[in-house]
Amino acid sequence: MIVRKVIFAFTISLLVNGCSNLSQDIDDSKNTSTNSAVVVTSSSELPTRFSLDSIRKAFKEYINYRLWFYPDETEKQFNFEPYIGKEITTEVRVYESNPQNIYIHTEIGDWLAKIVYANGFVYCDGFIRQEDTNIYPKGDYKKVDTLKIKVEPPHKPNYGTSHRKDKMIQAAVDYAEHLCKDFENGTESELWKDSKVYIVDFYEYENVINVWFVRQDGFASYTPVQVTESNNEFTTQGIKGFDIPNIRKLDKKDNETYFFEKQIGDTIKSYCPGNT
């Protein structure tokens, strides 16, 4: 499966022994894989709308994203923390089975980072393990170039702004307001008085916006919202989330606590229902 962040409850390149080992790693990969062969080419072989600079930025942003949200990476093969402050060497590939996308191979292992273009954005769509044979690219590939990327200390992701994104945010706010009215008219309406809504920041190329409802008694409800664009307008649909009985009683060392605090820290809009 593509390893990508997003929802905590459901599941949001590295310099190991120096640059001199990269060519050996590539040869080993070629020898152990029966469906790949290296063909050295040039950056002119990049698919339309990609550049080496946009690929570099996309991969760096995704590395930061994982460091920001997953400091205690449970999947050790994707753990970038030991490489903070160091340069890692990456190989940019184009596979014949999927020539419209870019794949990055690193010295950390036989997984790939998938770089895609959509709606005007070049971004990393996650990691693909070699054992994920249904989505791991097949056939020969072209080595377009190698990039050295410095792993920076984690910082709040650069989510970006635009008029289109403002409309996406408003769609999420409208959806949240609809739920708030349901809460106010429900059997627990008293408990929802003076509650607060948090719209979490997001990348414009994503189609899911994270929303939190937090009551005065500490109860918190995580409700992701899917946004779909049609004719320059956005419609919304809720996705199953989860509840936290009391955020004041969370274990500070628990992953759920870390996720909640990071989400609230990345809020792009917060308000009390009826006061948007």
Domain range enclosing 57? 2-150
Band (87; pLDDT cuts 50, 70, 90): very high
Q: What is the pLDDT of residues 163-177, one digit of tens each?
A: 999 999 999 999 999
Band (77; pLDDT cuts 50, 70, 90): confident
Look at residues 150, 174, 189 and tell me which one is the last residue of a structural domain: 150
- Residue 134 three-state SS: coil
- Residue 68 located in a structural domain: yes
In angstroms, the CA 48 to CA 116 distance is 11
In the prediction, which pLDDT does 69 show? 85
In angstroms, the CA 194 to CA 125 distance is 38
- Residue 157 located in a structural domain: no
Q: What is the pLDDT of residues 89-124, one digit of tens each?
A: 999 999 999 999 999 999 877 899 999 998 889 999
Give pTM, 2 decimals: 0.76
Q: What is the pLDDT of residues 175-232, one digit of tens each?
A: 999 999 999 899 999 999 999 999 999 999 999 999 999 999 999 999 999 999 999 8
Looking at the structure, tell me whether residues 175 and 144 fall in a common domain.
no
Contact (Cβ atoms closer than 8 angstroms) between residue 64 and residue 157: yes
In degrees to the nearest 10, what's the CA dihedral of 253, 257, 258, 261?
Answer: -140
Looking at the structure, tell me whether residues 140 and 174 fall in a common domain.
no
In the prediction, which pLDDT does 70 show? 80
Contact (Cβ atoms closer than 8 angstroms) between residue 22 and residue 106: no
In angstroms, the CA 224 to CA 209 distance is 6
Looking at the structure, tell me whether residues 124 and 10 fall in a common domain.
yes
Looking at the structure, tell me whether residues 39 and 118 fall in a common domain.
yes
Looking at the structure, tell me whether residues 87 and 119 fall in a common domain.
yes
Average pLDDT along the chain: 84
Please give the full DSSP string across 201-216, using - where no structure is assigned: P--TT-SEE-EEEE-T
